[in-house]
Chains A and B, each alone.
Chain A
């Protein structure tokens, strides 16, 4: 029973353009949503989060949007850079429980 879903396993974007990564969830009790970035042979690293009471959070080139009625969130990266090429995991938390999606592999083409 996958509570957090990332339906696009991969995404390719030209350098300088916008990358949009999507995530859907099923549990309306989640209180935070997080994005993690993972390079090969490394553990996932925290990127940005959003509280369930917000609809947008921005940190530099990264913005996360939350649509609670659709149970959907997205991560926007603009402008995309080659160093952004990695696997991005969406996660949702309630209390001390964290649930992860299956990841989207982003390739930014120079």
Chain B
């Protein structure tokens, strides 16, 4: 596609439920990132994929969070036993080059609200 697509745009769930957030990156971008943005904060790194493998998952806050990218394109961020503190906007980005810099192109985000 022309840009990074994220679904759902909004998700409201109850504490303890399981949630999946999907990201469809720019076609041909091999690198894919997940970030989390809380109110008044900047994007906080969660995980980075190069192709199908997670090259860096050091930002995942705990073992309730994991992400997959089985075919090297679409990625799914999965959150188990959601907690109210998980409420945030989850941003996906894929990367390409612009003027020599490695540049992230973000999707519009998935706003997760845990009640």
Question: For this complex, into which size category does the number of interface residues on chain A fall?
Answer: 20 to 34
Is there a chain A Cβ closer than 8 Å to B109's Cβ?
yes
Nearest A residue to B3 by beta-carbon distance? A43
* B 100-115 contacts with A by CB, 8 A: 100-109
Q: Are A43 and B109 in contact (CB under 8 A)?
A: yes
Contact residues of A: prevailing secondary structure = strand
With beta carbons under 8 angstroms apart, the residue of A32, A51, A103 that contacts B42 is A103
Nearest A residue to B92 by beta-carbon distance? A43
With beta carbons under 8 angstroms apart, the residue of B35, B40, B95 that contacts A96 is B95
A62 vs chain B, min Cβ distance (A): 13
Known: A43-B106, A45-B106. A100 touches B42 (CB 8 A): yes
Q: Give chain A residues whose Cβ lies under 8 Å from the Cβ of B48.
A: 96-97
Known: A42-B108, A96-B50. A102 touches B101 (CB 8 A): no
Nearest A residue to B111 by beta-carbon distance? A41
Mask: chain A, 28-44; 1 = CB below 8 Å from B; 0 = not: 00001010100001111
Is there a chain A Cβ closer than 8 Å to B2's Cβ?
no
Q: Give chain A residues whose Cβ lies under 8 Å from the Cβ of B31.
A: 96
Q: Give chain A residues whose Cβ lies under 8 Å from the Cβ of B55.
A: 96
Q: Are B43 and A51 in contact (CB under 8 A)?
A: no
Nearest B residue to A105 by beta-carbon distance? B40
Nearest B residue to A45 by beta-carbon distance? B106
* A 64-91 contacts with B by CB, 8 A: 89, 91
Q: Give chain B residues whose Cβ lies under 8 Å from the Cβ of A34.
A: 101, 103
Q: Give chain A residues whose Cβ lies under 8 Å from the Cβ of B99.
A: 49
Q: Are A97 and B98 in contact (CB under 8 A)?
A: no
Q: Are B56 and A46 in contact (CB under 8 A)?
A: no
Nearest A residue to B95 by beta-carbon distance? A96
Known: A43-B109, A96-B48, A96-B55. A49 touches B42 (CB 8 A): no
A interface residue numbers (CB < 8 A to B): 4, 6, 9, 32, 34, 36, 41-46, 49, 51, 89, 91, 93, 95-103
B interface residue numbers (CB < 8 A to A): 4, 6, 31, 33, 35, 40-45, 48, 50, 55-56, 91, 93, 95, 98-109
